[in-house]
Amino acid sequence: DGGITQSPKYLFRKEGQNVTLSCEQNLNHDAMYWYRQDPGQGLRLIYYSQIVNDFQKGDIAEGYSVSREKKESFPLTVTSAQKNPTAFYLCASSSVQGESYNEQFFGPGTRLTVL
């Protein structure tokens, strides 16, 4: 089955710890994205990547880091510098056409709670 997987589904973190969220896709999409969603809010873009070994900051990149060593994988690290990391994290992917990114498909999400 083609799709996007994220793990873990739930993650609990103590203050001061770094945690890494996994995202894998087998849709052969070039572009991948990380969003944060807070209760009752829309999606805010953290980072995105169009090609392997290249990624760009989104609107709220501070306190987060990413890597893109493989086309299929785009892990997100939430660092201790992120002041309020409790949120629902969504990974997405899309194909790319010229300078445009096409419709995005989402993974099931990871719910991060800081204790």
Interacting residues toward other proteins by CB under 8 A: 40-43, 45, 48, 90, 94, 99-109
Structure tokens that stand for 49 in this block: 């990547």
User: Which is closer to other proteins, CB of 63 or CB of 109?
Assistant: 109
Do β-strands 64-66 and 54-57 pair in parallel, antiparallel, or remain unpaired?
A: unpaired
User: Which is closer to other proteins, CB of 18 or CB of 59?
Assistant: 59
Residue 100 CB, shortest distance to other proteins, in Å, is: 6
User: Which is closer to other proteins, CB of 16 or CB of 98?
Assistant: 98
23-48 as b/e, with b when 16 or more CB fall inside 10 Å?
bbbeeebbbbbbbbeeeeeebebbbb
